[in-house]
A = this chain, B = another copy of it.
Amino acid sequence: MKKIIGTSPVLSPLPLLVIGTYDEDERADMMTAAWGGVCSSSPPSVAFSVRESRYTYENLLQTEEFTINIPSAAYVDEVDYFGIASGRKTDKPKVCGLTVEPAPDVHAPMIAEFPLVVECRMVKTVPLGSHLQVIGEIVQILAEEDVLDENDNPLPERVDPILYDPRGRTYHRVGEEIGQAFNAGKKFQTTVYQI
Contact = CB atoms under 8 A, between A and B. Distances in A.
A41 B131 contact: yes
A135 B142 contact: no
Q: Tell me how many chains of this kind the complex includes.
A: 2
Given A39-B131, A68-B11, A77 B179 contact: yes
A120 to B, nearest CB: 10
With most chain B CB atoms within 10 A of its CB, the pick from A135, A164, A188, A195 is A188
Contact of A9 (B44, B90, B188): B44
Contact of A187 (B77, B166, B191): B77
Contacts of A46: 9, 11
Interface string A136-151: 0011111111001100
Interface string A95-137: 1100000000000000000001110000010101111010100
A57 interface: no
Interface of A: 1-15, 17, 27, 34-47, 49, 68, 70, 73, 76-85, 88-91, 94-96, 116-118, 124, 126, 128-131, 133, 135, 138-145, 148-149, 152-156, 159, 161-189, 191-195
